[in-house]
């Protein structure tokens, strides 16, 4: 899943780089107008019936058929609403070309509703190789068609055609890679809605948390500051979006298999939290400390306004990573309402803080509000998790303290090493500082973590499992490389 995320992001970067040279900014803007409206409709229909099937211990055919039928009905409703809003949207934006664009995307949405629900078995059975191939094939087909269409048409229709092709290809591929054949039924709709209704609330609350700060920044500080904030937030959240999000995609079906074995669930939850923290915490702290050189090297000196955004939101990303693992546990336990309650509480903390802190501290007030709201969700989430799984606090902390201490030592050392960084220094110096900081940080973190593990009498912990997996993967890679050379 991490490999798919990295591959998908790489294809996205390549696609954007090519399309930016073939199309005009207005072409992207036109499609963005359509997607701003369609995104709201999709959010209102995000019931996540697939998660309900993954969470159920032994779903019957009737559950699959019902989930398929509900997806078809929601897609049809979303398509009709999209088509119905085409003319009003065109009038609102003053852009008549928006009408045929929304009609095409609405039709594609209807087609996508018929995707084979049986592909959820890839995640249910933890067959992530098949999941990777299915998702990758869709992405590659959409990428190829979009580029070819852009070369031929040189218009916004290339983006629309790529989008329509991707959704259509997903439907066709879903029946080629999975033998299950769904039928129309609503027999289990009540059971699915009792679970997925809370997933809808969770999805809406998550969207509010991610979007409302953008509204405040854009309204109060204008387009330039909004651009710096958006790019800075994306960099700050890299550890969470590129590592933890795909990991949690695998954790939900993994946890669901253990729902009837509380002891195994408890041990796995502690190990998962420790494993996620080992990867995310040092990465987040490193991004925060190296924010200056990162911005200077990757974005340029005109983006200096993004530096404090990255420094604060990097810590929010680490908090989000832990909370998202807890959410995966709640979903697998069949208690999605706990996730919804935590996110709604976060919204309730975030909104008033945005008003108060933005007036007092400006842009920094908004990022402070985001961090405080994230920390509040963590404070609420942990007691619920400990109570649901009967986890002793000390048992949980035993899996985390080494990572926290090693990260603190690494952070202090790198900060002292690079505290003389100036935002107006040359590019060559910024590159040197970034490379030095990364190298020193990685070596320090690994050495301190290893030393603490030795002092703890070499327990069987998450860092040991990750080290063994890394060694095994390296040996497998070298063996394949040796075989390919011989051939």
CA distance 251 to 246: 9
Q: Are 198 and 181 in the same domain?
A: no
Q: Are 217 and 260 in the same domain?
A: yes
Q: Are 260 and 363 in the same domain?
A: yes
CA distance 240 to 245: 6
Q: Are 386 and 252 in the same domain?
A: yes
Q: In tens digits, what is the pLDDT along the chain, a chain of 487 residues?
A: 777 777 776 776 677 667 767 877 777 777 777 777 777 787 777 778 888 888 887 888 999 999 999 999 999 998 999 999 899 988 887 888 889 988 998 899 899 999 999 998 888 888 888 888 888 888 899 889 989 998 898 888 988 898 899 999 999 999 999 999 999 999 888 888 878 888 888 888 888 888 888 778 877 887 678 777 877 888 888 777 777 777 777 788 888 888 888 888 888 888 888 888 888 899 999 999 998 888 888 777 778 888 898 999 999 988 888 888 888 888 888 888 998 999 999 999 999 999 999 888 888 999 999 999 999 999 999 999 898 888 888 888 888 899 999 999 999 999 888 876 565 667 888 888 889 999 999 999 999 999 998 888 888 777 777 777 778 777 877 787 777 677 6
Kindly give, in sequence order, each residue whose CB lies less than 8 Å from that of residue 166, ignoring residues fewer than 6 positions away: 138, 139, 141, 142, 145
CA distance 405 to 239: 19
Residue 74 lies in a domain: yes
Residue 363 lies in a domain: yes
Phi-psi region of 264 (alpha: psi -120 to 50; beta: other; left: phi over 0): alpha
Q: Are 393 and 251 in the same domain?
A: yes
CA distance 43 to 59: 26
Q: Are 298 and 316 in the same domain?
A: yes
Residue 320 lies in a domain: yes
- Domain boundary (167, 187, 207) is at 187
pTM for this predicted structure: 0.76
Residue 309 lies in a domain: yes
Residue keyed to tokens 């958006």: 230
Domain encompassing residue 335: 194-478
Based on the structure, what is the number of domains in the chain?
A: 2
Q: Are 181 and 230 in the same domain?
A: no
Q: How far is CA 243 from CA 247, 253, 324, in A?
A: 6, 17, 12
Residue 45 lies in a domain: yes
Q: Are 178 and 198 in the same domain?
A: no
What six digits make up the tokens of 144?
């190829």
Residue 487 lies in a domain: no
- Domain boundary (160, 187, 214) is at 187
Per residue in 144-182, is it b (16+ CB within 10 Å) or e — as a string? ebbbebbeebebbbbbbbbbbbbbbbbbbbbbebbebeb
Residue 95 lies in a domain: yes
CA distance 450 to 447: 5
Q: Are 63 and 21 in the same domain?
A: yes
Q: Are 259 and 313 in the same domain?
A: yes
Q: Are 202 and 103 in the same domain?
A: no
- Domain boundary (187, 222, 242) is at 187
Q: Are 262 and 302 in the same domain?
A: yes
Residue 483 lies in a domain: no
């Amino acid at each position: 899943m991490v490999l798919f995320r990295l591959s998908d992001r790489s294809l996205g970067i390549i696609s954007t780089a090519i399309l930016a040279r073939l199309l005009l900014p207005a072409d992207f803007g036109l499609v963005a107008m359509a997607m701003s409206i369609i995104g709201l409709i999709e959010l209102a229909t995000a019931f996540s019936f697939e998660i309900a099937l993954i969470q159920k211990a032994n779903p019957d055919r009737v559950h699959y058929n019902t989930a398929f039928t509900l997806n078809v009905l929601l897609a049809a409703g979303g398509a009709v609403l999209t088509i119905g809003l085409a003319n009003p949207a065109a009038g609102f934006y003053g852009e008549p070309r928006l009408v045929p664009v929304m009609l095409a995307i609405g039709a594609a949405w209807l087609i996508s509703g018929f995707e084979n629900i049986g592909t959820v078995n890839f995640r249910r059975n933890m067959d992530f190789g098949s999941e990777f191939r299915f998702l990758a094939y869709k992405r590659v087909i959409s990428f190829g068609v979009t580029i070819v269409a852009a070369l031929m048409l040189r218009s916004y229709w290339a983006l629309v055609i790529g989008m329509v092709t991707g959704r259509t290809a997903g439907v066709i591929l879903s029946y080629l890679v999975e033998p299950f054949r769904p039928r129309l039924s609503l027999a289990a709709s009540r059971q699915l809605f009792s679970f997925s209704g809370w997933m809808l609330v969770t999805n809406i609350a998550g969207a509010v948390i991610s979007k409302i700060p953008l509204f405040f920044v854009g309204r109060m500080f204008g387009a330039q500051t909004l651009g710096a904030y958006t790019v800075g937030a994306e960099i700050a959240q890299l550890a969470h979006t590129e590592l933890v999000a795909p990991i949690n995609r695998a954790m939900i079906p993994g946890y669901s298999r253990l729902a009837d074995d509380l002891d195994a669930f408890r041990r796995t939850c502690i190990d998962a939290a420790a494993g996620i923290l080992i990867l995310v915490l040092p990465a987040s702290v490193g991004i925060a400390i190296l924010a200056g050189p990162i911005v200077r090297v990757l974005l340029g000196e005109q983006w200096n306004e993004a530096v404090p955004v990255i420094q604060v939101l990097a810590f929010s990303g680490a908090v989000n990573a832990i909370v998202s693992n807890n959410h995966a546990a709640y979903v697998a336990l069949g208690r999605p309402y706990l996730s919804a309650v935590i996110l709604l509480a976060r919204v309730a903390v975030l909104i008033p803080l945005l008003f108060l802190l933005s007036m007092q501290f400006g842009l920094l007030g908004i990022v402070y509000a985001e961090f405080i709201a994230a920390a509040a969700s963590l404070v609420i989430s942990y007691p619920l998790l400990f109570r649901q799984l009967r986890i002793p606090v000390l048992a949980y902390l035993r899996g985390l303290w080494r990572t926290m201490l090693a990260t603190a030592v690494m952070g202090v050392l790198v900060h002292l090493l690079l505290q003389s960084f100036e935002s107006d220094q040359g590019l060559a110096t910024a590159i040197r500082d970034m490379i030095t900081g990364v190298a020193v940080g990685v070596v320090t973190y690994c050495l301190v973590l290893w030393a603490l593990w030795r002092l703890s009498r070499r327990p069987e912990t998450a860092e040991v499992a990750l080290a063994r997996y890394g060694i095994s993967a390296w040996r497998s890679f070298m063996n394949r490389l040796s075989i390919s050379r011989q051939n």
